[in-house]
Structure 1
Amino acid sequence: MHNVSSEMKECIDNCLACYQECLSMAMTHCLAMGGEHTKPDHFRLMMACAEICRTSAHFMLVGTEHHKHTCRECAEICRQCAADCERVGDMDSCVGACRRCAESCEKMAA
C-alpha cells in the first residue's frame, strides 16, 4: 500500500466501519422496525451514506487525490445521516459511526 498517514488510516477505518454499520442497520434493524425506519427518504439516505463511505475508503486505499472530493461529500452525507438516524431514534450505533466518519473525512477533505 502507498504511504498512508495515520490520520488517513483512521479515516479509512472509520469509513469502512460506517459503511458496515449503515448497511447492516438498514438491512436488519430498520427493515424489522418498519414505520419511520423504512420511509423512502430515510432508507435512501442510509444507502447513500453506506455507499459514499465505501467509495471514500476505496479512493484513499487506491491513493488518488480525488479522495478529497469524495471525503468532502462523505462528511456532508454522514452528518445528514447521523441527524436523520437521531430523529428516527433507537439508532445510536449508526449515529456514532456516521459522526466519527464525518469528522475523519472533514480532516481528509481539508
Structure 2
Amino acid sequence: MHFGAFKEKIEACHICAAYCDQCATQCLQEDEVHKMAECIRMDIQCAQICRLAASYMAQNSEYANDICQLCADICQKCADECAKHDADHCQACAQACQQCANACASIAA
C-alpha cells in the first residue's frame, strides 16, 4: 500500500492518541483517582501503540499490518474500559478508540 491508502487510518491513530492523552490527564484529576487506574493504564498503552502504528503506516513498513492488528486489539480494550466510566472525557475517548480500532482492523484484515 502507498501512503494515501493509509492516510485516514493514520489520522484515526493520531486522533485516538490525543483523546487517550486527554482522558488519562483528566482521569488523574478525578477525586477517586484510584478507581480510574485501569482507564489511565489503558489510555497510556493505547496512545503509545497508536503513535507506533501511525509511524509504521507512514513508512509503508512490511510490519504495518501486524502492528495495526495489535493496535486494533489495544484500542478495542481501551474503548471498552473507557466506556465503563460516565465522565465526558472517558466517553469521548471510548468513541475515538472504537473508531481507531475499526480503522486499524480494516488494514490488518
Asked whether the 8 Å contact 2:24–2:39 carries over to 1, the reply is: no
2:47 to 43, 50, 59: 50
Cα offset for 1:31? Answer: 0.8
Q: 1:92 deviation in Å?
A: 1.3
The unaligned stretches of length 5 or more in structure 1 are none
Pairwise CA distance, 1:62: 1.1
Give the secondary structure class of the aligned counterpart of 1:5.
helix
Counterpart for residue 92 of structure 2: 93
Structure 2 counterpart of 1:25, from 23, 40, 59: 23
* RMSD between aligned residues: 1.5
Report deviation, 1:24. Answer: 1.9
Q: Which amino acid is the alignment partner of residue 97 of structure 2?
A: C
What fraction of aligned residue pairs are identical, expressed as a percent? 32
Query: Structure 2: how far apart are the matches of 1:58 and 1:19?
Result: 12
**Structure 2 counterpart of 1:62, one-letter code:** Q
Shift, 1:47, TM fit: 0.6
Gaps of 5+ in 2: none
Is the 2:85–2:91 Cα contact (8 Å) retained in structure 1?
no
The alignment status of 1:80 with 2:77, answered yes or no, reads yes
- Does 1:15 find its partner at 2:13? yes
Q: Report the CA distance between 1:4 and its aligned residue.
A: 2.1
Please state how far the C-alpha of 1:88 moved relative to its aligned partner.
2.5
Shift of 1:49: 0.4
Q: TM-score, normalising length from structure 2?
A: 0.89
Amino acid at match of 1:26: A
Give TM-score, length-normalised by structure 1: 0.88
Structure 1 position 35, deviation (Å): 3.9
Instruction: Tell me by how many angstroms 1:44 deviates.
Output: 1.6
Q: Distance in 2 between matches of 1:89 and 1:78?
A: 18
